[in-house]
Structure 1
């Protein structure tokens, strides 16, 4: 069985931003369409109702890690922890633009940290949440299914 790799930390925050921006639309109980942050792309997420999930976002297709569309999907399904306060704080971040600008997930995360600090969000709280979600993803041992 082919399992998903753990995503970069910032993808947890990008998933929350996606939810905060209302860019995920459920087609059915097990399928959703996710609009990219700049509106130019639409990704498809399909779930088998258990531990199998697929998405056609770049991270999933080209790097083999669980991409932000799948993370957002699983958060809204209650499979992964969701934080409404953080989702709201991450609303409006131009993810594609900053990912292309910085070309480093570490630098993107640093930028997001500054944005959140400007909104009064405690980074220790964010850090604890990201670690919790990544541990959950790791523990679930999610596998790839056909799209």
Structure 2
């Protein structure tokens, strides 16, 4: 069995943003479509009902980490922690644009941090949530399934 690598921290926030924007649509019990932040891409996520999941997003396909579309689906399925207030605070962020602008996950995270702080979110709270999700990914060890 092949397990997903732990994603960059900012992918947890990107997943919450996708949920906050309403860009995650289930098309069956084990399948969802997640639209990218600029609307130009739609990612397919398949889930086996347990911890097996796959997506055709770039992070999953080319880098082998659990991509934000899969994280979003696992959050909505109740497998990974979810925070509705934080998802609401991350609505409307142009993820693709800022990822391309900064070309660094650390810099993207710093930018998003400033946006959240402007909206009144404590970074200590956000950071603790990110760490909680990443710890759960490490503990649960989601595995790769074929995407057909």
TM-score by length of 1: 0.99
Distance between the aligned counterparts of 1:80 and 1:132, measured in 2?
A: 9
Counterpart CA distance in 1 for 2:69 and 2:117 is: 25
Q: Which residue of 1 aligns with 2:124?
A: 124
Match of 1:32 in 2: 32
- Distance in 2 of aligned mates of 1:129 and 1:30: 26
Structural mapping, 1:104-115, within 5 Å = 104-115=104-115
Gap runs ≥5 in structure 2:
none
Runs (4+) of structure 1 exceeding 4 A deviation are: none
Q: Distance in 2 between matches of 1:22 and 1:51?
A: 23
Using the TM superposition, give the Cα deviation of residue 2 of structure 1 relative to its aligned residue in structure 2, in angstroms. 1.1
Once the two structures are superposed, what CA deviation does each residue of 1:60-100 show, in whole Å capped at 9, x if it has no partner?
00000000000000000000010000000000000000000
In structure 2, the residue matched to 1:66 is 66
Gaps of 5+ in 1: none
Q: TM-score, normalised by structure 2?
A: 0.99
The 5 A counterparts of 1:1-147 are: 1-147=1-147
Alpha-carbon distance, 1:51 to partner: 1.2
User: 1:9, 1:77 → 2: CA distance?
Assistant: 20
Query: Distance between the aligned counterparts of 2:116 and 2:103, measured in 1?
Result: 20
Report the 3-state secondary structure (helix = DSSP H, G, I; strand = E; otherwise coil) of the residue aligned with 2:34. Answer: strand
CA RMSD of aligned residues (A): 0.4
